[in-house]
Every structure is written in structure tokens, then in C-alpha cells.
A = this chain, B = another copy of it.
Amino acid sequence: MNKPPAPDVRWHPAAITRPLREQLNGHPSAILWFTGLPGAGKSTLAHAVEERLHRMGCRTFVFDGDNVRHGLCSDLGFSQKDRAENIRRIGEMTKLFIEAGVIALTAFISPFRADRRKARSLVADGDFLEIYCRCALAVCEQRDMKGMYAKARAGEIAEFTGVSAPYEEPEQPDLILDTAQLSVDACVDQVLRLLSARGILPKQGMSDMKLPPLDRI
């Protein structure tokens, strides 16, 4: 006997939730937060882990300087204040990505403990996995894949982490990868073991078999 409400005033709650999206995807979402010195291998490893997860049928996305510093955070520099705001925005954005059911991998130096702690605090326990790419400064500097250390030493780049700006090591990361010692594949294996232990890999029935090798796509 209740009169149905007129269509134009019908309130429509958000019916599609993170659990429904995770169910559709066949795996939980999470944030994999890679941190470490410039040249420690964060971006290389984030992309390598993503590739492995994608082959397993997971929904993934890597955030790094290339797609964030030129876009969402293009108004920010490298002062401590701007670095904090950079990490705040990345934290808020990755929070939305895990709501969307995506495994979000971030590859930023994120040198300050307080900023990383804030990013972790935005989400539930277990949603944020801090992965420390540990590599001696001398090794990172010897690699110097983009010639950035040389420029920083020459004074051409100000506030360069490791040279003229500090890096605060994680105190209790979820995983430490010794990227000076281990191969990329060995590091990826360690990350996958962490995800498996935390229940973040797809349930049985999804495997590499479902997708052709990447080079054939």
C-alpha cells in the first residue's frame, strides 16, 4: 500500500562496493608501497610485479613519477612541504584505487617516515604493504641510470634524496628487498610470497594459463 516515490526524488545509495568489485575481479585489492633511494629499483620492481600479477589475471596499476609528477602533482616541487603534499595526494588516490578493486603499486622515493605513516593510516590494516627497496647509496650512485646523481653532485639538482636531502629508512616495513644483491626475478618472487601470505593473490582457477605470454599479445 505504500505509494512508490516519484522517480525524481528516489534516493539511490552507492550499491557497488569494494567487496563486490573484488568478487568480480577474483582477488582482493591492496596498496604495494615501494620506497627507497633514487636508483634502488622501485619503479623497475613495481612494473615487474605488475607484469606477474597481470598474467595471473589481477587488476593492477603502477604509479610513478612519470604519470603522477607530470599530472596530478605537476604543481608541486621537491621541498619537504611539497613532498609531503605529493605523498598525501598519492595516498588519497591509491585509497580510491583499492576501493575500485585495483592492486595499486606506487614507486616513489617517499623519503619521510611521517608521510608514509600518513598514507598507511588512510586505509585499513593489511591494505598497505610497505616494501623497502634497500640498496646502499654508493650502489645507487654507481648505477645512476638517469644521470641524476651526477647532476645532484654537480649542484644542478637541489634537494636530491641521498645527496642533498635525507632518506628515512622504514622501521617496520612489510618487506625488505636487497636490490643490490638480488635479481629482479628474485625480488618479484619475494613480493609474490608476501602477497600470498597476506591472502592477496587470486583464488584457484586463475593462473598464467588464462593469458597468452605478453610478447604474443
- Per the bound structure, the CA–CA distance linking A11 and B41 in Å amounts to 9
A16 in contact with B184 (CB, 8 Å): no
Cβ of A130 within 8 Å of any chain B Cβ, yes or no, is: no
Among B8, B24, B61, B63, the residue within 8 A (CB) of A41 is B8
Interface residues in A, total, Cβ within 8 A: 59
Cβ of A158 within 8 Å of any chain B Cβ, yes or no, is: no
**Chain A positions 145-187 with a Cβ under 8 Å from a chain B Cβ:** 145, 179-180, 182-186
What chain B residues lie within 8 Å of A89 (beta carbons)? 72, 89
What chain B residues lie within 8 Å of A72 (beta carbons)? 89, 92-93, 96
Cβ of A60 within 8 Å of any chain B Cβ, yes or no, is: yes
- Using a CB–CB cutoff of 8 Å, the interface residues on chain A facing chain B are 7-16, 20-21, 23-25, 41, 43-45, 47-48, 50-51, 54, 57, 59-63, 67-68, 71-72, 74, 89, 92-93, 95-97, 99-102, 122, 139, 143, 145, 179-180, 182-186, 211, 214, 217
